[in-house]
């Protein structure tokens, strides 16, 4: 070091004259500390478009320079959607107000907009929303008409059942229990009247019975309000006589007396496996076991007891046909064709 300082004595003089500690010019990384200590004013750097190398200048001179690109601009905001109005006979109109609120009253911050009355609306403007695919709609209507003509207006058995009988499928939220614990309760309520199933869940000692009880009450309300099930005794005229009790035999051989055909019963009940949650079991010595508690859901299919009557009648008719087929007859019970008064050989 002494030799290098003697050869280049000016370095020590320059370092001592500097007010800030010395930092090497050529460093691997340009740290922000050196940038903060620099006090000399730097000349303003030209913009990136003007900072071009000599090779780029020569290339632009012979081949022509590239035009500066424009900055991308933001897209224009979407136009504000216009709000419609309701007709005077609409069930959704507010009964308390005689005139519907204007756009300015509904949105005081927005600008007032002119709303077209219902009578002056143009159907072509509403077509993209009301009828987005007119050709597909026409094909579907033609298909339905052709199907009705081919069947001569007759409905299939499934269509007849859907038109005359009602059903409601209600799914529950996820219960914090396992499939093994919920399946016995689902088997217990399957096939029973909805009121009998609710009564059984009220006196059940199972922990999950409380959740099942709340779900059955909710399912009963949905079936009554949304699908109009179980209202035969309410909608029936008081002058009409009460329906006669009818005894049917279920698939499992159990006999049931049906006094009200519109009563609700649980046709099917099954369990749905849900997601697994995370929980922790704190043990001794600071150890923690990760638990995966399962979640399970319950689905019930509610029907009216008139469905039990129809199914019992169909089973009885099928058994009668089978008994008739097993009867012995001397000649086959079918029509004879090709009768001729002469022998054919």
| 12-16, 26-30, 62-66: segment of lowest average pLDDT | 26-30
| 48-52, 60-64, 148-152, 184-188: segment of lowest average pLDDT | 48-52
Instruction: Report the pLDDT value the prediction gives residue 236, as an integer from 0 to 100.
Output: 86
Instruction: Report the pLDDT value the prediction gives residue 38, as an integer from 0 to 100.
Output: 46
| Secondary structure of residue 283 in the 3-state scheme | coil
Q: Per-residue pLDDT tens for 241-270?
A: 888 999 999 999 999 999 999 999 999 999
Q: How far apart are the C-alpha atoms of 251 and 267, rounded to whole Å?
A: 12
Of 188, 192, 195, the residue nearest 254 (C-alpha): 192
Q: Per-residue pLDDT tens for 98-152?
A: 454 454 455 544 454 566 677 677 888 888 888 999 999 999 999 999 988 998 8
Report which of residues 336 and 140 the model is more confident about.
140
Instruction: Report the pLDDT value the prediction gives residue 78, as an integer from 0 to 100.
Output: 66
Instruction: Report the pLDDT value the prediction gives residue 103, as an integer from 0 to 100.
Output: 46
- What mean pLDDT is predicted for residues 205-228? 96
Q: Per-residue pLDDT tens for 316-327?
A: 999 999 998 888
Q: How far apart are the C-alpha atoms of 182 and 296, rounded to whole Å?
A: 8
pLDDT higher than 60, residue 231: yes
- What mean pLDDT is predicted for residues 146-174? 91
Instruction: Report the pLDDT value the prediction gives residue 27, as an integer from 0 to 100.
Output: 45
Asked if residues 304 and 263 have their Cβ atoms less than 8 Å apart, the reply is yes
Under the banding of pLDDT at 50, 70 and 90, the label for residue 92 is low
Helices 209-225 and 179-189: crossing angle in degrees, nearest 10, is 50
- What mean pLDDT is predicted for residues 62-75? 65
Instruction: Report the pLDDT value the prediction gives residue 35, as an integer from 0 to 100.
Output: 47
Report which of residues 147 and 340 the model is more confident about.
147
Of 178, 189, 191, the residue nearest 216 (C-alpha): 189
Asked if residues 278 and 310 have their Cβ atoms less than 8 Å apart, the reply is no
pLDDT higher than 80, residue 171: yes
User: Can you list the domains of the chain with their CATH numbers?
Assistant: 166-236+243-325 (3.90.470.10)
Of 290, 243, 286, the residue nearest 263 (C-alpha): 243
Q: Per-residue pLDDT tens for 187-200?
A: 999 999 999 999 99
- What mean pLDDT is predicted for residues 271-291? 95
pLDDT higher than 70, residue 48: no
Instruction: Report the pLDDT value the prediction gives residue 59, as an integer from 0 to 100.
Output: 73
pLDDT higher than 60, residue 57: yes
């Amino acid at each position: 070091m002494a030799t290098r300082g003697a050869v280049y004595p000016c370095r020590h003089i320059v370092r001592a004259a500097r007010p800030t500690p010395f930092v090497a010019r050529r460093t691997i990384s340009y740290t922000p500390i050196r940038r903060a200590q620099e006090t000399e004013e730097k000349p303003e750097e030209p913009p990136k478009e003007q900072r071009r190398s000599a090779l780029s200048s020569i290339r632009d001179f012979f081949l022509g320079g590239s035009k500066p690109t424009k900055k991308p601009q933001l897209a224009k905001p979407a136009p504000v959607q216009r709000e419609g109005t309701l007709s005077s006979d609409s069930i959704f109109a507010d009964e308390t107000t005689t005139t519907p609120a204007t756009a300015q009253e509904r949105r005081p911050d927005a600008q007032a907009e002119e709303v077209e009355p219902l009578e002056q609306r143009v159907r072509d403007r509403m077509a993209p929303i009301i009828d987005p695919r007119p050709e597909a709609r026409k094909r579907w209507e033609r298909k339905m008409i052709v199907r009705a003509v081919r069947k001569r207006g007759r409905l299939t058995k499934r269509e007849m059942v859907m038109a005359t009988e009602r059903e409601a499928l209600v799914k529950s939220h996820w219960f914090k229990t396992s499939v093994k614990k919920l399946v016995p309760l689902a088997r217990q309520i399957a096939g029973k009247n909805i009121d009998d199933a609710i009564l059984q869940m009220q006196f059940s000692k199972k922990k999950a019975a409380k959740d099942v009880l709340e779900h059955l009450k909710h399912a009963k309300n949905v079936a009554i309000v949304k699908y109009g099930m179980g209202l035969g005794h309410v909608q029936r005229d008081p002058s009409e006589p009460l329906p006669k009790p009818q005894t049917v035999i279920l698939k499992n051989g159990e006999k049931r007396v049906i006094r009200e055909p519109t009563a609700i019963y649980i046709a099917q009940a099954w369990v749905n496996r849900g997601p697994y949650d995370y929980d922790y079991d704190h043990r001794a010595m600071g150890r923690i076991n990760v638990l995966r508690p399962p979640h399970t859901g319950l689905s019930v299919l509610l029907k009216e007891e008139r469905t039990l009557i129809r199914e019992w009648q169909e089973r009885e008719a099928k058994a009668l046909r089978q008994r008739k087929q097993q009867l012995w007859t001397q000649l086959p019970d079918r029509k004879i064709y090709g009768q001729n008064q002469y022998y054919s050989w």
